[in-house]
Amino acid sequence: MNPAQREWTQNQMNKIHNYLVKMGASSEDAKDIVQDTFYKAFLYSDSINTEKLSAWLFRVAINAYYDLCRRSTRLASLPSPEELVSKEGLPEELLAVKEESEEVQKVLQELSPLHKQVLELRYKHEMSYKEIGESMDLKPNNVKTYLSRAKKQFAKIYRRSGKHE
């Protein structure tokens, strides 16, 4: 594996791990899922379209997480706001960011799982409509529709929280 491939692979592993943790997986479960995902990618490398490899990896990891959730009775939890807050800036800025982060997390908890997932893939992981569609088995136009609905639902809940009218 050349250095560029190694860097890309490590970057993808980190992205998938972080995404799984944000979905509610423990760090250890996320590591196991990522390892399994890349093992499967190695096994099936001949049959995977290289242009869609990133989306394929996300789809396999997400499905593995859903399988884990079905087998487990424990509830998934979102990361603490402290994990999401930047370590830079003035104390006042940090407090404002922390409060905003907590509010955003509360709103995300109220969204449907599909809307939450579409928003996170688009804005947190900066995936294109095409990549999101491939990772979720949706057409890009459907992704656009779900994303639009998710944004509207998010805005409605956010405004309803009372502080943002």
pLDDT tens, residue by residue, 23-81: 888 899 999 999 999 999 888 888 888 888 888 999 899 888 888 877 764 444 444 45
Same domain for 67 and 99, yes or no, is no
Q: 81, 98 in Cβ contact below 8 A?
A: yes
Domain total of the chain = 2
CA distances to 48, 96, 112 from 42, in Å = 10, 44, 33
Average pLDDT over residues 9-23: 90
DSSP summary character for residue 73? -
93 occurs within a structural domain: yes
pLDDT tens, residue by residue, 99-120: 666 777 788 888 888 888 888 8
Same domain for 109 and 54, yes or no, is no
154 occurs within a structural domain: yes
Same domain for 44 and 96, yes or no, is no
- Sign of the four-CA dihedral 161, 114, 117, 81: positive
77 occurs within a structural domain: no
Nearest to 161, CA basis, from 126, 120, 109: 109
Q: Domain range for residue 56?
A: 3-71
Neighbours of 149 (CB within 10 A): 15
Kindly tell me if the per-residue pLDDT of 165 is higher than 80.
no
Which has the higher per-residue pLDDT, 95 or 14? 14
138 occurs within a structural domain: yes
Of 20, 40, 71, which marks where a domain is finished?
71
pLDDT band at 154 (very low <50, low <70, confident <90, very high): confident
Token match 């592993």: residue?
13
Largest CA distance in the chain: 53
Same domain for 93 and 156, yes or no, is yes
139 occurs within a structural domain: yes
CATH number, domain with residue 140: 1.10.10.10
CATH number, domain with residue 53: 1.10.1740
Residue 138's Cβ-side half-sphere holds a number of Cα atoms within 13 Å equal to 19
